[in-house]
Amino acid sequence: MDILHLKYFVEVAKQRNFTKASQILLVSQPSISKMIKSLEEELNVTLLDRSERQIKLTDAGVLVYEQAVKILQSVEDVYSSINELVQVKKGTIKLGLMPTTGVLLFPNVLAGFKMEYPEIEIKMLEYSAKQLNHMVEQGEIDLGITVRPANSQLFETLPLLSEELVVLVDRDHELVDREAVRLSDLKDESFILLTEDYVLHDVVTQACMQSGFQPIVTYKSSMWDLIGEMVASKIGISLIPRSMVSRFNNRKIHAISISEPLIEWELVLIYRKNKYLSFAAREFIQYIQLKLL
């Protein structure tokens, strides 16, 4: 038994006539007769009383007809739902962001996407970059906005933003009048870093070691605002993405470029390789790509 069996049977039952049913279905009458006969043999019952000029349903035929109508309606609902999903563009996206990412990148992007796809819901969750990588890998979120490096064997990546890291110092610091410094110039400074949960912690630590010194870490925090306040209080210096400087509404701090080496902070959108992506997620990726052109 398949959908075609039921479709032919229902139409014959409605029309009470093979000829009318064949005209509506655009199928030859012998083909319909053969299909319904096959259905009767499979169920081992007679569905249609063919003894009169107008076909009638048997008791078994009435039962099968009622169930067949429900089944065909359910199938039609599936097609309608899929068509609605694709054409009306519905769905849900679980998007993981780092706490700073929404401020840097997404107010305008998300607003534009929402206007174009009002029926797609975006559930935004905030995690550190390392947590985001794990959650995308485990399938707990669809897409993640994280920082390079990302595992190229596990993830597809879409570059979003690249900017330099700068040194954040207090206004009375001896370096405040310098336009730029070498990272090695900071070897005797006290550093205030993000915690090990954040990729930026590793980026800064590795850059310092490649410049010939182990950074003296005075304090670690997961809160950007606290880092800014500690720098302003002359507890130490910090390395942050340039776009983050405007976040600190504090006249007691100042940003200085790093001339050597150039330390880049790259934001990327990641999603798991060889994993099914919903229609909504694929539309979001395409939208981001167009915005970046």
Per-residue pLDDT of 172-215, as tens digits, reads 999 999 999 999 999 999 999 988 888 889 889 999 999 999 99
pLDDT at residue 144 tops 80 = yes
Per-residue pLDDT of 272-291, as tens digits, reads 988 888 888 888 999 888 87
The second-level CATH assignment, the architecture, of 91-159+268-292 is 3-Layer(aba) Sandwich (3.40)
The second-level CATH assignment, the architecture, of 161-266 is 3-Layer(aba) Sandwich (3.40)
Distance of alpha carbon 133 from alpha carbon 167, whole angstroms: 27
Pick the CATH number of 3-84 from 1.10.357.10, 1.10.510.10, 1.25.40.340, 1.10.10.10: 1.10.10.10
Place of tokens 């390789």: 273
Burial call 218-236: b when 16+ CB within 10 Å, e when fewer? eeebeebeebbbbbbeeeb
Fold equal for 91-159+268-292 and 161-266: yes
Distance of alpha carbon 290 from alpha carbon 61, whole angstroms: 56
Higher confidence at residue 101 or residue 280?
280
Higher confidence at residue 75 or residue 220?
220
Percent of the chain residues past pLDDT 90, beyond the cut? 27
